[in-house]
Amino acid sequence: MKKEVHILSTLNLRDEQTEQVRNISKDIHLTVLHVDDRKEISDSLWEQIDVLYTWDLLPEPDQAPNLRWVQFQSAGIDSFVNHPLLKKRDLIGTTMSGAITNQIAEYVVMAILAFGQKLPTLLQYQKEKKWPSESEKRQRLLPLELRHSTVGIVGYGSIGRQVARLLQPFNVEILAAKKDVMHPEDAGYTVEGMGDPEGHFFDRLYPIEALHSMIARCDFVVLALPLTSDTFHMMDAEAFEEMKPTAYVINVGRGGLIDQPALVQALKTKQIAGAALDVFEQEPLPKENPLWEMPNVILSPHISGLSQHLSEETFTLFLENLKRYMADLPLHNQIRVDAGY
């Protein structure tokens, strides 16, 4: 059992949440400072903390000599994976992967159904107050039915697994790609009744190295990977050439997974049918970006993970990890700095 554990939360906690933290052990000392700049935290406070619960406020290694665990309030850590603090040999970093997956998965299903049922085209007809002819209906509004479709999920982590779960009633063929195909089960944090902990919801599992072979078969390609040096621009011109001209790409991972100029070219030349993009290499997306004007693109401002239940669900994971930390048990979602996530 840990003794005298000092916790700093830079996230705002409700009174009942602070009480839940303190009730885990009488040896826990919790400080809540809802701040946006690490300079607002005194050196004396940094020096005494053992645990940090934060979005992205990190001290320099020598500022927090006793810090042993950082729980991030995000699933992706690409923006600070190279921070010197995470290089400390005796420090554990953990993410919120698995706690913020369902809303993102619902966004993916929304985009798949919107493209499959030709919603962008329907909305354009509505805007123009135009009733399409019978030939136009057959040419432009013929649906892509899920029960006759193949969805490829690139990155079979917590988000990808929840997408697969939500797609089960549609009787769709599901292909998945992950780094380690020898272990299809999910070793991360999973909320009961969500995801695919045992790896049962895909029809075929591919290694990432066989990405092009997989996406060539897909009607919808879902990107749900972290951004690392290995995944940067993995969807490039060559990848889009492998896709069907009737296929769509949906990105809820990171903007850097896609080579944007290659995507724009693939969309302009109808090499692929469309794209739903919630993340971009540059955010906000510049107004002059051609993606804004493309009729076969659904854009959203990095909101697929928004949920009115977000703070409660992520806090539940932090609380579970804190209990494990106090009992010297392995923590959920430990960051692998060498792998970039």
Q: Are 202 and 172 in contact (CB under 8 A)?
A: no
Give the H/E segment covering residue 76. Answer: none
Q: Are 14 and 59 in contact (CB under 8 A)?
A: no
Look at residues 305, 331, 307, 303 and name the one whose alpha carbon lies nearest to residue 95.
Answer: 331
Omega before 245 within 30 of 0, i.e. cis: no
Q: How many residues does the chain have?
A: 341
Q: Which of 40, 283, 309, 312 is catalytic?
A: 283
Q: Which of 68, 302, 313, 320 is catalytic?
A: 302
Q: Are 225 and 231 in contact (CB under 8 A)?
A: yes
The residues with which 30 forms a beta bridge, in sequence order, are 7
Pair of tokens at residue 94: 């953990």
**34 assigned to active site:** no
Q: Which of 6, 161, 254, 332 is catalytic?
A: 254
Q: Are 327 and 1 in contact (CB under 8 A)?
A: yes
Q: Are 194 and 229 in contact (CB under 8 A)?
A: no
**320 assigned to active site:** no
**254 assigned to active site:** yes
Long-range CB contact pairs, 58-61, < 8 A, 24+: 58/83, 58/85, 58/86, 59/85, 60/84, 60/85, 61/85, 61/87, 61/88
C-alpha distances in Å from residue 309, one per residue of 6, 83, 100, 241, 326? 27, 29, 9, 40, 26
Distance CA 222, CA 203 (A): 15
> In sequence order, which residues have a C-beta less than 8 Å from that of residue 171 and are 6 or more positions away?
146, 147
User: Cα-flanking dihedrals φ and ψ of residue 77, to 5°?
Assistant: -125, 15
C-alpha distances in Å from residue 173, one per residue of 3, 131, 180, 228? 51, 34, 21, 28
DSSP for 28-58, written as a single string: EEEEE---S-GGGS-HHHHHH-SEEEESS--
- Could you list the active site residues? 254, 283, 302
